[in-house]
Structure 1
Amino acid sequence: MKKKTPNIISLVFVFCCLTVQGQKLPYQNTSLSYEERANDLVSRMTTEEKVSQMMSEAPAISRLNIPAYNWWNECLHGVARAGLATVFPQAIGLSATFDSDAMLKTAQMISDEARAKHHEAVRNGQFGIYQGLNFWSPNINIFRDPRWGRGQETYGEDPYLTSVMGESFVHGLQGDNPKYLKLVATAKHYAIHSGPEYERHSFDTDVTPYDLWDTYLPAFHHLVEKAKVESVMCAYNRFQGQACCGSSKLETEILKKQWGFKGYIVSDCGAIDDIYQHHKIVPDAEQASILAVRLGTDLECGDRYATLLEAVKNKKIDEKEIDKSVKQLFLSRMKLGMFDPDENVPYTKIPYSVVDSKEHRQQAIEMAEKSIVLLKNENHTLPLSKNIKTIAVVGPNADNAISVLGNYNGTPSHTITPLQGIKNKLGDNVKVIYEKGINFTNDTLASPVEIKNNLSSNGIKGLKAEYFNNIKLEGTPILVRNEEVIDFKGDVTTEIAPGILAKWISVRWSGIFTATKTQAMSFSVTGDDGFRLFINGKKVIDHFNYHEALTDYCTFQAEAGKSYDIKLEYFQGDQGARIKFSGVLLQKTNMQALADKLKEADAIVYVGGISPEIEGEEMPVVLDGFKKGDRTTIALPKVQTELMKYLKQTGKPLVFVMETGSALGIKWEKENVPAILNSWYGGEDAGTALANVLFGDYNPAGRLPVTFYESDKDLPDYKDYSMKNRTYRYFKGKPLYAFGYGLSYTNFNYTNLVAPKTITTGNDFNITVTIKNTGKFDGEEVAQVYVSHPDVSFEKPIRSLVAFKRIFLKADEEKKVSLTINARSLSLITPNLDRSIEPGNIQIAVGGHQPDETNSTVSTLVQLKGKKVILEK
């Protein structure tokens, strides 16, 4: 990509100590407080200028030296959608590390890259989407049901784990400078939001007050109070009849009044539209905008707030209400140093070389290693020997570079799949047999058919390509050319064609396909965002109204020598482009023949599970077991279990590696496959990390941040937001694998738990425990502390995680480990809806898992003495 010449006029906007008409104004005076400066700046704006700054794409105000600014940015597990970036494991994998220190370090690296990329963009006069410093991460919704496709973006099902990991992430993003924010982090989606994706714009949640305060709000409260998160994003759905982005209870009463939140609230993208279009709370965009602003939503991701200008003129909303939001927005921008000289802001000095640096790439490997959970290791199947002669690597995720990157991802300089990781680990001396075998949900594979020489337009090889500078294929094309191959993937900073960036464009390819063989063949189309295919004028594929990655096929009977009119139409919005058009033959897999072929292998590694290609945010996917990004069953797709049955019959050691963003029902696999690893969506170096674990160069110690249920029968209705019989805190059945579960290649023993016999209610306290590595491998252990309240008769969790620590022990090494129990973590929600610490006995259990698992656990009773302590009313 050609480097753009800096826009000198735009650059002038950034040096915010410039003066208006040669005079330094109060908002440019760095010796004043941010509040004084923001008040002064907003006082100088017209109503139109104020309103223009309340939408995600805010224009420049040149007379005040305010540059254009786009508020939309993502960094869920690395800087996303903005070109080159280190891609760490997906958020659920980061949480599976149970390592808050490592999370902090990872977030610091992400914010380093974000700062470096922002200042590089500014130097080049760029102020577009994904180039700012306000980031819409982390997602701290509670993963209440494993069928939710966006659960992969969360830190799991537990409020405490979510709070701790979320706090580390926010601290890593926002930095520790006493004056300046490094980035602005955003806690989302506030609140009570976790599916279904197919109804997220219209559904109404009505949880009990107990569940609201016990489960859904604690992590948000923690990030507001302890992490000092600067921004909160309100959700699409309604809560008790009010849209979350126009909720007096959530935004005004709880967030601002009770918790004292001082930052700004941003809407989820298009959520203001939902208030009138889907929730039907008000009749139009203007009323929806007034409602949202009045109740606390300062910034809109979208453009409906443009209606506020007329609303002010017509006295439907007071301009002072607009001022309040605008001041809050500029206050945050000033905290980022955007209106101060670069030399005053330490983060402007971060070099661009940190992006995709060696240190960051190594951290991505280490976090992927730490995230891997060993679920089963019968007869010490793992680690595998590096001295084997032949290994088979099989399955739909074995060489899937898309799956390991998760969603909301950046563009890595390299992607190591499990297959490549194993090849790199073993070198040329070991034969590696690769077979995809099946797809995620079916056994019909697409083998490529070369069609490059079969395409023409007006006698010229290839298809005619017409590029438009809008997403509707309207007007005169800005570029017309012939293209022999349609296969492109890039982010918003990449040119999809000379001078045309991969955003807000549409393309039409047209021409003739001339068949050389008579056969049933298929055209395959993979695209982000929308695409449709016509053959001889008939629409055969139509996904033009969607905004997610998708692959679809059109099968037809081709006749040798016959020509077919082809038209492929595609549009791309704001997240980078991907479009591929190819020919394939679809063929059903003979599983017995495949298994026979693999009998020469010394071991078989099956890499399956699911993928962000089929689970995620409001997707067009409708497959067996999947619906619009969510799942209709937690069961591993049947075709995968069927293939593993054939693989087991070979008699070879079999390892099942799951890539997933959620819990899977794998009852047969647990009972029949000797070794099972959960590697989540492990990031750019997922394959390297997996190979290190498979062959014993890293001893796994990840833990499950979600409960793995045995089957759908264990779960309430998906749309039911009640926590009854959900998550480890309230599930009364026996899980397949429990929250906090994870094995090691070694064993650990817990002894000598020391805790105070009595504690005064409201006080923190320490406990110590001795942990010994009794096995032959060096390794890490995650010590977990759970508390239960046997003396309390009102509604309460079965138990709750209240502390954890990840430690390293050499073989036969012993350590005395200290853990702090925070008083708040001992509190309960009473029938009066107070959060209080009740006098009485509490049961404390410490071990590598929950106390009812078959492992070394020590426990004791501690008496809380004194008066009841009410933390919140």
Structure 2
Amino acid sequence: MASSSLTERNRALFSVSTLLLCFLLCISEQSNAQSSPVFACDVTGNPSLAGLRFCNTGLNIKSRVTDLVGRLTLEEKIGFLGSNAIGVSRLGIPAYKWWSEALHGVSNVGGGSSFSGQVPGATSFPQVILTAASFNVSLFQAIGKVVSTEARAMYNVGSAGLTFWSPNVNIFRDPRWGRGQETPGEDPELSSKYAVAYVRGLQETDGGDPNRLKVAACCKHYTAYDVDNWKDVHRFTFNAVVNQQDMADTFQPPFKSCVVDGNVASVMCSYNQVNGKPTCADPDLLSGVIRGQWKLNGYIVSDCDSVDVLYTKQHYTKTPEEAVAKSILAGLDLNCDHFTGQYAMKAVKVGLVNETAIDKAISNNFATLMRLGFFDGDPKKQQLYGGLGPNDVCTANNQELARDAARQGIVLLKNSAGSLPLSPSAIKTLAVIGPNANATETMIGNYNGIPCKYTTPLQGLAETVSSTYQLGCNVACAEPDLGSAAALAASADAVVLVMGADQSIEQENLDRLDLYLPGKQQELVTQVAKVAKGPVVLVIMSGGAFDITFAKNEEKITGIMWVGYPGEAGGLAIADVIFGRHNPSGNLPMTWYPQSYVEKVPMTNMNMRPDKSNGYPGRTYRFYTGETVYAFGDGLSYTNFNHQILKAPKLVSLDLDENHACRSSECQSVDAIGPHCDNAVGGGLNFEVQLKVRNVGDREGSHTVFLFTTPPEVHGSPRKHLLGFEKIRLGEKEETVIRFNVDVCKDLSVVDEIGKRKIALGHYLLHVGSFKHSLTISVS
């Protein structure tokens, strides 16, 4: 019995050991597999591929794509219509996962990119809304360049793809939108400049060849998409009713800039319908505008499951095959997920779509991969980025840029009697209180990856002065610990309250219902401020805005800062600003409304302009007519800047053709196209605005110079509109001259009721700081 028992035990041990060995071998194989990038045309491993024209790097991309498509069967072609593309082993083409994300750092959302032992994390920059608050175009591009370098480094070891579905350039139209955090804000000019700069940072190669891509960016979600889940209105079924005027001057400009100025490689169509048509099945929006008017050099991809959604949720078609056919014929090239691949063959067989349309779609997809070098053989042997690897991810310089980006974006909203910055020598004990005071994941928002490391607000502050922490309450804050928080505040020399939101309050598929601080956070702030003996600094960590009128008016709260979701180094950046190591220079990229605004304005009303007949107040600083808590562009510094207009015209005259109707009769406006615009340089329709800016304070600081215009009140023109902005840095008492080049037809034009650009005739105001300059545009 003993011998038999021992034999059974040995067998069991052998079995376990064998399983363990197999497991370790499998893990090892997987690890080795992950260490190699995915690519086609491996002529070293398969010399026969060298004779294929699509593998010939000496040919132009169009010729190579034509050759490749001509070699595929219909079934193989359909395999390249979905985001999990099916490889063709006979041609040396591996499977490829199109979906990777890089909203503010390489992310592991989507499946195309992941983190492993080789690359356990990547630099996590601030969420986009905070980066946008820096109003620093060079910073936007610098972040994109770092992200693409880390992406290429990860690709070389099999941890990332080459196609990244970022950035999100939708307009942050309503403060309740859960995804507003992902966007550059409410202004089309800022959003457009962000889009172009970030796309260039991601895509442009060091060699400067426009036919090559470092990684492929994607501007999303096209278009008029900004309702996710509000009072049982869902993005999958929402029909955005948008007039031509709002479409042309609010919703479309960032996408147009992406394609025309940024040369983006991809545009993603959205879930929602626009005026009754799903965007992913609208030939006017896709083939007509993106591919036709804007000349997209790349591919159009659906938001994930959008083709499925327009059939199953929106019931726009009677069959799945019809949904696939309508989307492909409308101009969709790639379907995120499997729906198109599942039903495309039958759609062809029943005559809903022909093979030529499928050829066109996959040709756009292949052309993008060829611009990325995917069909050029082993990327590690390629000249530009073959040498990148894990050591190029999470470098000290990259992490310092994340810290600096957060510092540049932080917005100082209140600073009573110059209470900030705090003096470390005057503070023996600092009370750090609030649900986000020791936050980690909250700081990086959504569409995040795994950061290199975290520095929480508490950790950042404690590096400078002795700090004591109390949670006080969680973000939802049903039962705040008022007693402990108040006792700590009463005993400390100063208090920093870190409040706000997280992804349980605002995120994809979750819009807010009000603008109050979540739960009983306001009660906690009020009670702490009441007993505090020293300065009280309120820090709001969030993507969207809140009605914090109570704090703005509370004398005991001496400082208020908005820090967005500040990224992996958020705690360091917050401490840098609070203790004065960095002079704040961020400005709000969105309006902060009172709660009364959302009580009378449904999210589903897409109209930007006010309507006096029903009391509708309009949206964003460009059209909103009501009171604000804080305005677009607000932001304080620890120093002061003066502005002076040195040069600007008082009169601009449009030289119209002799037969133009407006020469003989009064007109409100003239078209922003025509000979008077074509000859802009000779006709004097470009002019320069020169501004002198002086730092009149006693310390160095950065400053954003805004040039706004108020046009004549015609065609429902904006109350105020951002023409341009420039970020500068000035030392104590230093001054400089800033020049804005203004194109009358492009920059001063407004959009009329049918979506056409017009030059309004009459009196304009140019705004710079508190200065206003009068300008008249007339005809001759």
TM-score, normalised relative to structure 1: 0.77
Determine the C-alpha separation between the residues in 1 that align with 2:731 and 2:38: 55
Q: 2:123 aligns with which of 74, 82, 86?
A: 86
Asked if residue 421 in structure 1 is aligned to residue 460 in structure 2, the reply is yes
Determine the C-alpha separation between the residues in 2 that align with 1:23 and 1:108: 33
**What does residue range 390-409 of structure 1 map to in structure 2 within 5 Å?**
390-409=429-448
Determine the C-alpha separation between the residues in 2 that align with 1:423 and 1:767: 46
Determine the C-alpha separation between the residues in 2 that align with 1:783 and 1:360: 27
Partner of 2:144: 107
Q: CA RMSD in A?
A: 2.0
Q: 2:719 aligns with which of 798, 815, 838?
A: 798
| C-alpha spacing 1:16/1:723, structure 2 compared with 1 (3 Å) | farther
CA deviation after TM superposition for structure 1 residue 16, in Å: 5.8
Determine the C-alpha separation between the residues in 2 that align with 1:22 and 1:261: 31
Determine the C-alpha separation between the residues in 2 that align with 1:372 and 1:355: 25
Determine the C-alpha separation between the residues in 1 that align with 2:212 and 2:144: 17
| C-alpha spacing 1:11/1:395, structure 2 compared with 1 (3 Å) | closer
Determine the C-alpha separation between the residues in 2 that align with 1:772 and 1:10: 52
Q: 2:420 aligns with which of 369, 382, 385?
A: 382
CA deviation after TM superposition for structure 1 residue 754, in Å: 1.4
**What amino acid sits opposite 1:643 in the alignment?**
L
Q: 1:721 aligns with which of 599, 606, 629?
A: 606
Residue-by-residue CA offset, 1:435-485 (whole Å, 9 max, x unaligned): 0011222243xxxxxxxxxxxxxxxxxxxxxxxxxxxxxxxxxxxxxxxxx
Asked if residue 859 in structure 1 is aligned to residue 772 in structure 2, the reply is yes
Partner of 1:846: 768
| C-alpha spacing 1:439/1:842, structure 2 compared with 1 (3 Å) | same
Q: 2:520 aligns with which of 622, 626, 639?
A: 639
**What amino acid sits opposite 2:189 in the alignment?**
Y
Q: 2:492 aligns with which of 572, 587, 601?
A: 601
Determine the C-alpha separation between the residues in 1 that align with 2:36 and 2:729: 55
Determine the C-alpha separation between the residues in 1 that align with 2:299 and 2:268: 9
Q: Is the 8 A contact 2:216 2:264 kept in 1?
A: yes
- Structure 1 or 2: more strand by fraction: 1
| C-alpha spacing 1:355/1:760, structure 2 compared with 1 (3 Å) | farther
Asked if residue 67 in structure 1 is aligned to residue 104 in structure 2, the reply is no
Determine the C-alpha separation between the residues in 1 that align with 2:37 and 2:496: 54
Partner of 2:13: none
Partner of 1:707: 591
Determine the C-alpha separation between the residues in 2 that align with 1:281 and 1:182: 38
Partner of 1:334: 370
**What amino acid sits opposite 2:549 in the alignment?**
K
Question: Bigger CA drift: 743-752 or 761-770?
Answer: 761-770
SS in 2 for 1:53: coil
**What does residue range 28-67 of structure 1 map to in structure 2 within 5 Å?**
28-67=55-94
SS in 2 for 1:631: coil
CA deviation after TM superposition for structure 1 residue 379, in Å: 1.1
Q: Is the 8 A contact 1:196 1:718 kept in 2?
A: no
Structure 1: where are the runs of 5+ without partners? 445-588, 619-628, 848-856, 868-873
Q: Is the 8 A contact 1:749 1:772 kept in 2?
A: yes
**What amino acid sits opposite 2:539 in the alignment?**
V
Partner of 2:681: none
SS in 1 for 2:179: helix
Partner of 2:544: 662
Q: 1:219 aligns with which of 245, 254, 270?
A: 254
Structure 2: where are the runs of 5+ without partners? 1-26, 109-113, 116-120, 610-617, 655-676, 678-684
Q: Is the 8 A contact 1:17 1:339 kept in 2?
A: no
| C-alpha spacing 1:10/1:639, structure 2 compared with 1 (3 Å) | closer
| C-alpha spacing 1:173/1:822, structure 2 compared with 1 (3 Å) | farther
Determine the C-alpha separation between the residues in 1 that align with 2:79 and 2:351: 18
Q: 1:96 aligns with which of 116, 121, 133?
A: 133
Determine the C-alpha separation between the residues in 2 that align with 1:436 and 1:67: 51
**What amino acid sits opposite 1:655 in the alignment?**
V
Q: 2:223 aligns with which of 184, 191, 195?
A: 191
Determine the C-alpha separation between the residues in 2 that align with 1:747 and 1:9: 54
Q: Is the 8 A contact 2:37 2:156 kept in 1?
A: no
Q: 1:25 aligns with which of 48, 52, 58?
A: 52
| C-alpha spacing 1:154/1:23, structure 2 compared with 1 (3 Å) | closer
Determine the C-alpha separation between the residues in 1 that align with 2:743 and 2:563: 31
Partner of 2:758: 836
**What amino acid sits opposite 2:569 in the alignment?**
D
Asked if residue 740 in structure 1 is aligned to residue 622 in structure 2, the reply is no
SS in 2 for 1:211: helix
SS in 2 for 1:5: helix
| C-alpha spacing 1:75/1:7, structure 2 compared with 1 (3 Å) | closer
| C-alpha spacing 1:344/1:593, structure 2 compared with 1 (3 Å) | closer
Q: 1:162 aligns with which of 170, 181, 191?
A: 191
Residue-by-residue CA offset, 1:604-661 (whole Å, 9 max, x unaligned): 100001112321012xxxxxxxxxx110001223511111111111133110000000
**Identity among equivalent pairs (%):** 36
Determine the C-alpha separation between the residues in 2 that align with 1:433 and 1:383: 19
Q: Is the 8 A contact 1:708 1:737 kept in 2?
A: yes
Residue-by-residue CA offset, 1:137-196 (whole Å, 9 max, x unaligned): 010101100000000000000111000011100000111421311111101000010013
SS in 2 for 1:635: coil
Q: Is the 8 A contact 1:403 1:613 kept in 2?
A: no
**What amino acid sits opposite 1:420 in the alignment?**
Q
SS in 2 for 1:36: helix
Determine the C-alpha separation between the residues in 2 that align with 1:773 and 1:147: 37
Q: Is the 8 A contact 2:497 2:536 kept in 1?
A: yes
Asked if residue 308 in structure 1 is aligned to residue 344 in structure 2, the reply is yes
SS in 2 for 1:837: strand
Moved over 6 A (4+): 7-12, 17-20
Asked if residue 237 in structure 1 is aligned to residue 276 in structure 2, the reply is no
**What does residue range 276-291 of structure 1 map to in structure 2 within 5 Å?**
276-291=311-326
Q: Is the 8 A contact 1:753 1:858 kept in 2?
A: no
Q: Is the 8 A contact 1:16 1:338 kept in 2?
A: no
SS in 1 for 2:31: coil
CA deviation after TM superposition for structure 1 residue 282, in Å: 0.9
Residue-by-residue CA offset, 1:233-253 (whole Å, 9 max, x unaligned): 000011111111111231122
Determine the C-alpha separation between the residues in 2 that align with 1:25 and 1:593: 73
Q: 1:441 aligns with which of 472, 476, 492?
A: 476
Determine the C-alpha separation between the residues in 1 that align with 2:763 and 2:60: 49
Determine the C-alpha separation between the residues in 1 that align with 2:42 and 2:774: 61
CA deviation after TM superposition for structure 1 residue 289, in Å: 0.9
CA deviation after TM superposition for structure 1 residue 839, in Å: 4.3
Determine the C-alpha separation between the residues in 2 that align with 1:412 and 1:735: 36
CA deviation after TM superposition for structure 1 residue 832, in Å: 4.4
Partner of 1:630: 511
**What does residue range 447-466 of structure 1 map to in structure 2 within 5 Å?**
none
SS in 2 for 1:649: helix
Asked if residue 750 in structure 1 is aligned to residue 750 in structure 2, the reply is no
Residue-by-residue CA offset, 1:508-545 (whole Å, 9 max, x unaligned): xxxxxxxxxxxxxxxxxxxxxxxxxxxxxxxxxxxxxx
| C-alpha spacing 1:403/1:310, structure 2 compared with 1 (3 Å) | same
CA deviation after TM superposition for structure 1 residue 865, in Å: 5.0
Q: 1:807 aligns with which of 722, 728, 735?
A: 728
| C-alpha spacing 1:644/1:764, structure 2 compared with 1 (3 Å) | same
Asked if residue 685 in structure 1 is aligned to residue 685 in structure 2, the reply is no
Asked if residue 372 in structure 1 is aligned to residue 372 in structure 2, the reply is no
CA deviation after TM superposition for structure 1 residue 311, in Å: 2.1
| C-alpha spacing 1:844/1:197, structure 2 compared with 1 (3 Å) | same
TM-score, normalised relative to structure 2: 0.86
Q: Is the 8 A contact 2:127 2:565 kept in 1?
A: yes
| C-alpha spacing 1:17/1:212, structure 2 compared with 1 (3 Å) | farther
Q: Is the 8 A contact 2:431 2:489 kept in 1?
A: yes
Asked if residue 298 in structure 1 is aligned to residue 333 in structure 2, the reply is yes
CA deviation after TM superposition for structure 1 residue 350, in Å: 3.0
**What amino acid sits opposite 2:730 in the alignment?**
L
Q: 1:317 aligns with which of 345, 353, 369?
A: 353
